[in-house]
Amino acid sequence: MQAVSVAHFWRLGEQVSSSKAPARRATALDAELFAIRLGVVKATSFDVKCIIIITDSLTAARRAVDASVHSGQAHSLAIVQALRGFFTNHSDRLIHFWDCPSKAQWSLHFLAHEDATSTKIAAGCHPATSLDALQSKSAAARATRAILNHASIGEFRQCFFPAECTYCPCGHCQVETCRHIFANCRRFAYFPLTDLVPTVKDFVKFLKEHPSAFAFSSQDRPPSKLPEPP
């Protein structure tokens, strides 16, 4: 089955419209980003000064206005384009993103959530698949890399390739470690840790929400043979 993205539009306490579209084979994050796109593009077509986007994924909300290369970039670009027109020459216009977990079952958000989860659309023989959906299949491998500390991160390079850069790409850590990626890295919606060791539940959730974490890119593959110890 395909993922389904849904957006409901309310104005002055009344539902005025709704949008629904198949998100193809995608992760929950991809589908939520698509739903935000549906919401923003439609909402900016109304004559309004303030738009409130209610979502259960702050990660998707952050990605919505990130035009850099990532899974679902086309959705982000459509959102940015719509907001550009919405804000141009209108200094009094606003947009807010509200975080509302699905388990809260708040009426406005829960209706859209139920609409999306109750809609079933067959994937077909060769469905388009998002980048994150492809990478999510490697979750077991990424978990193993993180646990064994054998991933393309600064801590690994410091140990086996000390001449290479160990800095985290976020620019806020001299040695990119697994703990930093999980708990502090600004590239991800991090999980501030109160305990020394994250729970398995938190770890699995993190890997599902961030398919690029602990993944080797095509230009950054692990070496086929490690250097001999001195």
Q: Clarify whether residues 11 and 108 are in a common domain.
A: yes
Classify residue 195: in a domain, yes or no: yes
Classify residue 228: in a domain, yes or no: no
Q: Clarify whether residues 103 and 29 are in a common domain.
A: yes
Q: In whole numbers, what is the pLDDT of the chain averaged over residues? A: 84
The total number of structural domains in the chain stands at 2
Q: Clarify whether residues 143 and 111 are in a common domain.
A: no
Classify residue 132: in a domain, yes or no: no
Classify residue 189: in a domain, yes or no: yes
59-94 pLDDT per residue, tens: 999 999 999 988 899 999 999 999 999 999 999 999
| The last residue of a domain, from among 53, 88, 118 | 118
Q: Clarify whether residues 78 and 143 are in a common domain.
A: no
In this prediction the pTM is 0.62
Residue-level pLDDT at 136: 67
Q: Clarify whether residues 145 and 43 are in a common domain.
A: no
152 to 31, 47, 101, 148, 220: CA distances (angstroms): 28, 48, 33, 12, 7
Domain hosting 55: range is 3-118
Classify residue 93: in a domain, yes or no: yes
132-144 pLDDT per residue, tens: 776 666 667 788 8
Q: Clarify whether residues 109 and 184 are in a common domain.
A: no
Q: Clarify whether residues 103 and 187 are in a common domain.
A: no
Classify residue 125: in a domain, yes or no: no
